[in-house]
Structure 1
Amino acid sequence: MRLHRERRPLHWQLREPGRKLAECIRKEEPHQPLLIDALGGYTAAHLDLNDHAWTQEAEELIQSLLTRTCPTVIVIEETGWGVVPATVIGGLFRDRQGWLAQQLEQHAADSWLVVQGRALNLSQLGILVP
């Protein structure tokens, strides 16, 4: 974590909104670039919500992002490649994180997959699966 923070430019500002990511995004200047690193903590913080409340929360997040006029980069942990979670809460996290990633991708100008220091532009290389 220390190295990760040290690589950031000095002019970057850090926000740690916890559960209130949508509110934090709305408070940021829409004409300034924004990096959200990453969504796993946000998803985990809302595992106590029922499905309906989770969908509403995610929609609020998406709407806050749609108000932005400058690039927003969102890091999303890929959860579908690992083992099947052994616990109900682990499965819920995987399902919600994957669903949220799919919802956000529908609004993204580009989607990138970064693995082992290499980046692939999925918007150019991938075929959308219905």
Structure 2
Amino acid sequence: MGKVILVTGPARSGKSEWAETLAMQSGKVVVYIATANDNPDDQEWHKRIQKHQNRRPQDWVTLCVPIELSATLADAKPNTCLLVDSLGTWVANFLEQDDLSWENVLTELLETVQLVAADMLFVAEETGWGVVPAYPLGRTFRDRLGSLVRQLGLLSEAVYLVTGGHVLNLSVLGSPLPNIE
């Protein structure tokens, strides 16, 4: 298994920038895996994507992978560093699936991560730090993303929390919980 790193934190905290810094420091060919689709009709979303694209080195390979993340990871060459940004968007792409279908997708991803020889950096949003969503789909999103982040964190060599303009290495500062839910 390659090196797995998880970078998590709230919106606009600098998660992506920190993950990009780690990818550059890897010294490997970087493959940026975007989980969002660009929507030219949504100018605000398009500007966000452009900002991310403009910040990245031009020699990075960029793949748009809104669904087939496991297959994309499985196809990676060992000498690469994969940067997946973001897991929250990827989870949102599956919200219409029933719980059993989602569990199968989640299991496939976590099993694939353990087999990939490439280094992998995952960016994930923290969603459960506030009010419980008042609608079922919001709770489903929060619960699915939270569970994925927890399980991926247990597979990660390093877990970083980016918040308040600071990066904390949780792998050094904390202790992992057992993998039970």
Q: Same fold (TM over 0.5)?
A: yes
Query: What is the CA-CA distance between 1:23 and the residue it aligns to?
Result: 1.3
Q: CA deviation at 1:110?
A: 0.7
**Residues 76 and 116 in structure 2, CA contact (< 8 A), matched pair in contact too:** no
Shift of 1:93: 0.2
CA distance in 2, matches of 1:22, 1:90: 24
1:8-51 Cα offsets, whole Å, 9 max, x none, are 11111111111111112122223300100100111111112222
Separation (CA, whole Å) in 2 of partners of 1:42 and 1:118: 25
Q: CA deviation at 1:68?
A: 2.1
Give CA deviations for 1:59-118 in whole Å, capped at 9, x if unaligned: 111122222223211001101112211110000000000001111111100100011321
> CA RMSD of the aligned region, Å?
1.4
Structure 2 counterpart of 1:30: 78
Q: 1:111 aligns to what SS in structure 2?
A: strand
Residue 175 (structure 2) pairs with residue 127 (structure 1): yes
Q: Name 2:43's counterpart in structure 1.
A: none
Match of residue 31 from structure 2 = none
Give ranges in structure 2 of 5+ residues lacking alignment: 1-47
For structure 1, the residue ranges without an aligned partner over 5 or more in a row are: none
Q: Sort the Cα spacing of 1:28 and 1:127 in 2 relative to 1 into closer, same or farther, 3 A.
A: closer
Question: Of 86, 90, 110, which aligns to 1:62?
Answer: 110
Partners of 1:30 and 1:79 in 2: how far apart? 32
Higher relative contact order (CA 8 A, sep 6+): 2
Contact 1:30 1:67 in 2 (8 A): no
Corresponding residue SS for 2:64: coil
The equivalences for 1:1-130 within 5 A come to 1=48, 2-130=50-178
% identical equivalent positions: 37
Name whichever structure is richer in strand by fraction. Answer: 2
Q: How many residues align?
A: 130
